[in-house]
Structure 1
Amino acid sequence: MLDTHCRKYIQPFILGGANILMKLKFSANQVTILALFLGLATGYLVYLDYPFIGLGLLWFSGYLDAVDGTIARTKGSTPFGTVMDITFDRLVEIGIILGMACRYKEFTFILLVLACAIIVSMTIFLVTGTMANKKSEKSFYYQAGLAERSEGFIMFSTMIILGEKAYWVIIIFIVMIVVTVLQRFFEAKKILNN
């Protein structure tokens, strides 16, 4: 939801970072890889009990994730770049979930439920994006929903900050993703049954 409605307000900041990195001769794929490693470090730092350092890396990783898309749209995106971007986003989420599960063993089951909800949401998102004839400024059809990337970062950040008190935040996050699953499912039915 925030990605869809607020991107225009932060795009100048993202474009500034993209311009700097393009002047330094970074490709979109190189920025995607850098964002992956910073994001994966988040889960490890959570596990080691350095949540605030991990949090800083998570948000810098997320910023670079937006910058890589701007670079790709400026220089021309590639299908493999899109595959890398979407796959690496999920790897960062997996890293955070694993870091939380290893640090807070009492959350293992509920974090598994969260991972399952993300899998279902992304499955609908990717299949609809592949099957839909609609295009967006991205290289595939982008289905909006209640829990997009920014909401995910906010919820993961809140989980990291609260640590052992994050149980209800995880539950709320799961509910947000389930609502998104339903939104995307019914939108897919409308789009693909025409």
Structure 2
Amino acid sequence: MLDTHGRKYVQPAIDGTASVLLKWKLSANQVTGLAFLIGVSTGVFIFFGMPLIAIAVLWLSGFLDAVDGTMARKTKPSPWGTVLDITFDRIVEISVILGLAFAFPSAQWALLLLSASIIVSMTIFLTVGALSEKQGIKSFYYQAGLAERTEGFILFTLMILFSSQLVWMTLLFFAIEMFTAFQRLFEAKRILK
């Protein structure tokens, strides 16, 4: 929801950063790789009890993830870049979940439910993107929903900051993710007839 409706407010910063990185002769795929390396460190910082650093690297990776797409659109988007971007995004999310699961074993069952809900929601998202004839600014149809990447980062941030309430925060994230999955499923039924 925030990615779809709030992007216009942060796009100037994303555009400016993309232009600087292109002047430095970096490619979109290189920035995707950098965002990935920064993002996967999140779980390590969570595990070692450094929540503020974990949150900082998570959000930096998310910002660079937005920048790489803008860089691709300013140059030449590639299907390989899209594959890298989507795959690395999921691995960063897995890093956060694993960091929390190893640091807080009593919440593992809730984190497992969250992981399952992300798999379901992303399966619908990617399948609709592959099957839809609609196109957006990305290289496939981007299904908006209640829980997009920014909402996920906000919820991950709350889970990291308020780890004493981790189970409840995780179950809230699970519920939002499942709502989004059904939202996308119903939209898929409408547009793919």
**1:130, 1:14 → 2: CA distance?**
26
**Number of residue pairs matched?**
193
TM-fit CA distance, 1:165: 2.1
Residue 82 of structure 1 corresponds to 82
Contact kept in structure 2, 1:104 and 1:164, CA below 8 Å = no
CA displacement, residues 124-156 of structure 1 (integer Å, 9 cap, x when unaligned): 000000000000010000000000000000000
Q: Please, what is the CA RMSD of the aligned residues?
A: 0.6
**1:33, 1:157 → 2: CA distance?**
22
**One-letter amino acid of the structure 1 residue matched with residue 155 of structure 2:** M
CA displacement, residues 37-60 of structure 1 (integer Å, 9 cap, x when unaligned): 111000110001111011100110
**1:25, 1:56 → 2: CA distance?**
26
TM-fit CA distance, 1:9: 1.1
**2:174, 2:89 → 1: CA distance?**
18
Percent of aligned positions that are identical: 53
CA displacement, residues 57-99 of structure 1 (integer Å, 9 cap, x when unaligned): 0110000000000000100110000000000000000000000
**2:164, 2:111 → 1: CA distance?**
13
TM-fit CA distance, 1:164: 2.9
The TM-score, its normalising length taken from structure 2, stands at 0.99
Residue 191 of structure 1 corresponds to 191
Report the secondary structure of 2:162's partner residue. helix
Superposition map of 1:62-81 within 5 A: 62-81=62-81
**1:43, 1:164 → 2: CA distance?**
17
Residue 28 of structure 1 corresponds to 28
The runs of at least 4 aligned residues of structure 1 exceeding 4 Å deviation read none
Q: Flag structure 1 segments of 5+ consecutive residues without an equivalent.
A: none
TM-fit CA distance, 1:163: 1.6
**One-letter amino acid of the structure 2 residue matched with residue 144 of structure 1:** A
**2:159, 2:30 → 1: CA distance?**
29
**1:117, 1:47 → 2: CA distance?**
23
**1:22, 1:109 → 2: CA distance?**
43
Report the secondary structure of 1:146's partner residue. coil
Residue 54 of structure 2 corresponds to 54
Superposition map of 1:95-114 within 5 A: 95-114=95-114
**One-letter amino acid of the structure 2 residue matched with residue 57 of structure 1:** V
Moved more, 141-150 or 159-168: 159-168
Residue 168 of structure 1 corresponds to 168
Residue 44 of structure 1 corresponds to 44
**2:52, 2:62 → 1: CA distance?**
15
TM-fit CA distance, 1:168: 1.2
CA displacement, residues 135-192 of structure 1 (integer Å, 9 cap, x when unaligned): 0010000000000000000000110111232221111111110110011000000111
